[in-house]
Every structure is written in structure tokens, then in C-alpha cells.
Amino acid sequence: MKKIVKLAVYITIALFAVACGNKPKSEGRDSVELTGAGATFPLPFYNVVFENFAQVNDDEVAYGGIGSGGGIRNLRDRIVDFAGSDAFLSEKEMAEMPAVVHIPTCMGAVVLAYNLPSVDNLNLAGDVVADIFAGNIKKWNDERIAALNPSVKLPETDIVPVFRSDGSGTTFVFTDYLAKVSENWKNNYGAGKSVNFPAGQAAKGNPGVAGVIAQTTNSIGYVGSEYAFAQGIPYATMQNACGEFVKPTAESISAAAMGEIPADTRTSITNSQASGAYPISTFTWIIIYKEQNYANRSKEQALCTVDLLKYILSTQAQELTSQVHYAPLPKKAVELSLKNLDAVTYDGVAIGKLSSNER
């Protein structure tokens, strides 16, 4: 008995030592643990970049894919170092919190996946999609769909719209687009992470929606591009604001951000006016507090947070985006974000630009 107790004590001490072993590192700070939570949409990208980043300085970055809303809630409760969100904070949300900084990390899109065995390529336009999801266009051979697809023989069957049952950044991007292209949608349903869709059925998460579509002939639904690309689900070609028909690709998604971007990068780029842009594209953001000294966070953690974001904005990390089915940020967004990072402070002192010996 005594031996076992002794052993248990040794093991505990050993574990404790491992857990607390802060080894000083080359970049002028100790290795730390960072916790973030939020959007599931960029999760595959974050998994790769966080892993790569952590290796450099032996840090640990844990990210919980609990949804954008949950991430922001956690940031407001000050229990995470950063939040991931597919939607930027509204003025009202910003007013309820201390100053925050939005850093776009990569780009993605929402694609319209469909299940029509006889149709290889489907062209759609924003107002048509809005009316399909509003329940105004009920049949696949509706003349407005037929007008966009002159060479395709469309079946005379009921359309089954599929939407997200859980609140989701994907829904926000999709409905934000619909509200821009359809007055009817804007006035009756609006844009949001959860919207009362009047027709069809709902499923949980991208896998749920994709699963229902795969299983249901004549269905159409919206799915995050990274999911559709990875799974090889058939999706529609969309008509953009310039009247071009565009397939979602890394290039056409990045093209959507070629227009004006405000200094704080809080902007919706759906229905982009840029040529060659896929119209339902979006940034996804990491949101941090501007003043990093909160909830007893150490200066090391603040420095590490800034380092992490700088790494995500680096060419090296941005090149990874298309490998995991996202699109890279345009140069302008990266420049703006680096500037925004410079304004991040710890105890009122800007830490974004500190060189390694100033730390």
C-alpha cells in the first residue's frame, strides 16, 4: 500500500512538472498555452496553422469549434484568448464589450449543393435562389430557372429546400447575400445566423445538410464551400453582380474581396461588384481584445496571441488555405490587418511592433 502511494505521488509530481515546464524560447518569450473558440467553418484551416505555429515555439493552441456565437460569448466572458467568427460584430455588440480587433484569417464561400440526377451543371441567380428558399418557386422546371439554363432539361418535380437547423455563420453569409439581392427576402426574412426559413426542412451542421441533400432527390441546400470542395458534392454556378456565371473556386472567392475594404475589415463581401467574383463569399475572422491584459493574462500570452495572428497572415500560412479548400486573403486585407495588430496593447503599451529584445 505504502509503495503505491509513493508511486502515485511521484507520478503526480512528474505530471505537474511536465505541465508547468516553461522553457525559455528563442523568440524572447516563454512557451504558453492559448485557448480559442468559435466558428466551425475555418476549423480545418485552423487545425493546420495552429499546429504549424505551435511547433515553432513549443506553444499550445487549443481551439474549440463551438460556433461563432459561442466563441463571442466566451470572449465576452473573458475565458478565451481569441474568438473565431464568420460574422463580424455589429455596432451594438461592439458597444457592449471593451474595444476589439477583427483579423480576417482566410476566405470561404457558401455553395448551393443540389441533387438532380439528370442535371450536370445548374446555373442560378440570386433572386431565383431567394425565391426558391422563400417557397415562391416550387418546381424545378419553373420558367425562371429554365431561363438561366436554356440547354438543360429540368424535371417537373417539387423543389425540397434544405437549410441549417443550428445557428451558423454559413446561414448568416447566405441570408446576407439573399437580403442584398432580393427585396422580398430582406423585408420578410432578413439576414442572421438563424433565420425563419418558410419552406423545406432543416438539418444540423454542414454534414447534416449535405447528408440530407445526398439522400433526397430534387433537393437544394447551402453548404460551406470547404465542405463541398472536400466532399465533391455537386454545386450550382452562380450569376454575380456583373452578370457573369461563376463557379466557386479559390480564385473567384478571393476575387470577391478585391473591392473597397474598410480599415477595421468589418465588411460583408457578398454580392461583390468585382469582376470574376463568386457572389456568396466571405471573410472569417479571429476577434481579440485590443487591450490584452484581462482576466490575469500574462504578457507572454498576449505576445503569443499577436504572434499567432501574424503567422496566420504570413504568406506561408496563406498558401496553405487552398490545400484545405479555402481561399487566401487578398494583399490589401493582410496589410490592413497587420496595421490593426500594431495597435494591440498590453497594459496600454503597444506590443504589435516590439522586437524580440524589447519584449
Partner 1 sequence: MNDKVFKIILFAAALVIPLICGGVIYSLTIDASDAFSRFGFFEFLTSSEWDYTIDNEKYGALPFIVGTLLTTLLALLFCIPFSLPVSLFIGEYFKGRKIAELLGTVTDLLAGIPSIIYGLWGFYTLRPLIIALDISPQGSGILTASLVLAIMIVPYAASLSAEFIKMVPNEIKESAYSLGATRAEVIRDVVFPVAGSGIFSSYILAIGRALGETMTVTMLIGNTNQIPQSLTATANTMASIIANQFGEADGLRFSALIAIGLLLFLITAIINVIGKFLIKRARIM
The distance of closest approach from Cβ of residue 157 to partner 1 in the complex, given in angstroms and rounded to an integer, is 8
As a whole number of Å, the CA-based R_g of the chain is 23
Question: Closest CB to partner 1 among 174 and 278?
Answer: 174
15's grid cell = 505530471
**Residue among 6, 204, 247, 331 that touches partner 1 (CB under 8 A):** 204
The distance of closest approach from Cβ of residue 196 to partner 1 in the complex, given in angstroms and rounded to an integer, is 6
Question: Closest CB to partner 1 among 68 and 301?
Answer: 68
String of contacts with partner 1 for each residue 152-171, x by CB under 8 A: ------x-x----xxxx---
Q: Say which residue the cell 478571393 belongs to.
A: 254
* Residues whose CB is less than 8 angstroms from the CB of residue 4 and which lie 6 or more positions away in sequence, other chains included: none
The angle, 0 to 180 degrees and rounded to 10, between the axes of the packed helices 331-342 and 299-313 is 170
**Residue among 193, 266, 297, 325 that touches partner 1 (CB under 8 A):** 193
Q: Are strands 219-224 and 160-164 parallel, antiparallel or unpaired?
A: parallel
190 binds partner 1 (CB under 8 A): yes
**Residue among 50, 140, 177, 197 that touches partner 1 (CB under 8 A):** 197
64 binds partner 1 (CB under 8 A): no
72 binds partner 1 (CB under 8 A): yes
CA atoms within 13 A on the CB side of 7: 4
Beta-sheet strands, E only, within 140-250: 160-164, 201-203, 219-224, 237-239, 245-246
CA dihedral 270, 89, 65, 290 (to 10 degrees): 130
200 binds partner 1 (CB under 8 A): yes
Residues 76 to 135 in contact with partner 1, rule: CB under 8 A: 90, 92
**Residue among 57, 105, 219, 268 that touches partner 1 (CB under 8 A):** 219
Question: Closest CB to partner 1 among 119 and 338?
Answer: 119
